[in-house]
Chains A and B, each alone.
Chain A
Amino acid sequence: MKNCLFAGLISCILIAGCSNKEDGKDSKTALLKTTDPAPVELVDHPETDSFGHAIKKELAKKKELYDVAVIQSKEETLVVYKVKHLQRFKMKKIEKDMEKYLEGKYPGEDFILSSDYKIFLETVRLKEKIQHKSISKKEAEKEFKDIIELQKEKT
């Protein structure tokens, strides 16, 4: 019994150190349920150059996905999606299909696709920061670059 208590105490201490993270409402649950964030467009002329909304609308129709987030910057567009649980066996095929579709529809654009929960979470966090105007456009672009870096990391 004493040992049980001691083990419980240690695990409590281990977990307790991580409760003071500032996060918005959406990013708190972004790992667990559908968030459906609005696309972010970091382009100079949003009226003419942007296609983030169009992509999101198109991809949301896909049966295998249940959540799509898009960040469009000047050079590249990051498309993050969550795959339904039983469809995750076909993750590679879904990614290939989407890449083909996007390249066909928007030739000349650079797309980065990811189905990673972490990238999704970071996208939602960035979107919230931009919405609350807590970071400037330059900072937002830097954070976007960081997300891309994170996405490329494999080990």
Chain B
Amino acid sequence: MGKTPKTPEQQKYEKLEKQYETKRPLLKNVIKAFFVGGAICLVGQAVSYYYIYFFNFTEQTAGNPTVATMVFFSMLLTGFGIYDHLGQFGGAGSAVPVTGFGNAVISAAIEHKTEGYVLGVGGNIFKLAGSVIVFGVFAAFVVALIKTLLIQWGVI
């Protein structure tokens, strides 16, 4: 289906729309997201150092407990209603780190709690985060497959 040229009515409507559309402060939003995301990652780094210093985790192995802890933190913050404000302020800066995953899980669970624990919470808890898991696992599978093949062929 090719693109049909816009009719005069459509062009007129576009003009009208532009008049009423609020302009988004793109640069401001980007800067906010940068700092909020950076702050979350700073906390993550601190948690990682905490695991290295007090427990028997190396830099390599500290990643897994750190991710789990950060998700746990964001779940608590979502439950107390703090993460919503953070997301409102920071936008992508609060959604892109792994804390955004925890927020997506718990907010869906809270939203559907009234529908019951099995069909409500159980059925909807991964409504948003499910795609993250599916594509994460699939992407990891593909990358591992490519790496295994490359090693088998002796490229790397």
Contacts and interface: CB of A to CB of B under 8 A. Distances in A.
Interface of A: 3-4, 6-7, 10-11, 18, 21, 31, 116-119, 121, 150-151, 153-155
A119 B82 CA distance: 37
B59 A116 contact: yes
Given A3-B81, A6-B80, A155-B61, A150 B56 contact: yes
Contact of A10 (B52, B57, B76): B76
A5 to B, nearest CB: 10
A21 B54 contact: yes
Given A3-B80, A7-B76, A153 B52 contact: no
A119 B54 CA distance: 13
A153 B61 CA distance: 8
Contact of B77 (A7, A21, A118, A121): A7
Given A7-B76, A118-B59, A154-B61, 18 more contacts: A4-B80, A4-B82, A7-B80, A10-B76, A18-B50, A21-B54, A31-B49, A31-B53, A116-B59, A117-B49, A117-B52, A117-B59, A118-B52, A121-B52, A121-B53, A150-B58, A153-B58, A155-B61
**Chain A contact surface mostly:** helix
Interface in B56-90: 56-62, 64, 73, 76-77, 80-82
A132 to B, nearest CB: 20
Nearest to B51: A118
A154 B60 contact: yes
Contacts of B73: 11
Nearest to B72: A14
Contact of B62 (A10, A118, A154): A118
Contacts of A150: 56, 58
18 contacts: A3-B81, A4-B80, A4-B82, A7-B76, A7-B77, A11-B73, A31-B49, A31-B53, A118-B52, A118-B57, A119-B58, A121-B52, A121-B53, A150-B56, A150-B58, A151-B58, A154-B60, A154-B61
